[in-house]
Amino acid sequence: MDSSVGGKVGINHPLGKNLIGSFYQPEYVVIDPNVLQTLEKREIWAGLGEVVKYGLIWDGTFFNLIETGLSDIANLKDAEQLSKTIEFCCLIKAEVVERDEKEKSLRRILNFGHTLGHALEAVTEYDYFKHGEAVVYGMRWAAWVSWQKKYLTESEYLRIERLLIQFPVPELPQNVTANHLIDKIKIDKKQSVKGLHLVLLKKIGKVKMEQGEELSHYIEGWLNYAGKK
């Protein structure tokens, strides 16, 4: 959706995800939900990772709907529900992009889950994870960090974790270490001269952005806590 509703066009580089690119807004966007019927289940689940993101960063009620209807959405059982889900995600994305096209401030919230997600894609050379699968791990990590920093309550963190562990994503490769991930994060496109822009959660539906945080111990801690289970 970044290259349609968002207008981002980019390519991966061996050093990192989407490091080369520009902004080019489309004349119009056409979405046909029936096309989803042609996709493999893995692709559908990968796409749903980004759907969850919108509930977490923008609308707790939308998260509730995903939480209670995840199986039906993933199985494409209800055409009306599916269309409304797609519409809601597009409306959120459009509002954010209209207010901050070039990602100077607000648009950074769309990177929730992408700090670790992009790093996982890069260290596995873009051929192990689907993008949405890596983002699922990234959201699990960001939610865990938010809990560790006492922004999220334990009950909200556990709600997020219970939802995301339902996603049938590949296991984390055993040879991926915190140092590998940190090396990739250091050259991520979300870096600036003042440090990394990190998107965390204050609660389900509300973000907190930080900059310049040292992440090594949080990545090592999460890998030990959840990532290697």
CATH number of the domain that residue 42 is part of = 1.20.1090.10
pLDDT, average across residues 141-151: 96
Which tens digits make up the pLDDT trace of 149-197? 999 999 999 999 999 999 999 999 988 999 999 999 887 756 654 567 8
Instruction: Evaluate whether residue 2 is within a structural domain.
Output: no
Q: Is 101 among the domain residues? A: yes
pLDDT of residue 219: 93
Query: What Å distances lie between residue 111 and 74, 87, 208, CA to CA?
Result: 23, 20, 12
| Of residues 54, 35, 17, 46, the one with CA closest to residue 188 | 17
pTM over 0.75: yes
48: in domain: yes
CA dist., res. 154 & res. 157, Å (int)? 5
The total number of structural domains in the chain stands at 1
Q: Is residue 79 a part of any domain in this protein?
A: yes
Segments forming the whole domain that contains residue 16: 8-227
Is 3 inside a domain boundary? no
Return the number of other C-beta atoms located less than 10 Å from residue 105's C-beta.
11
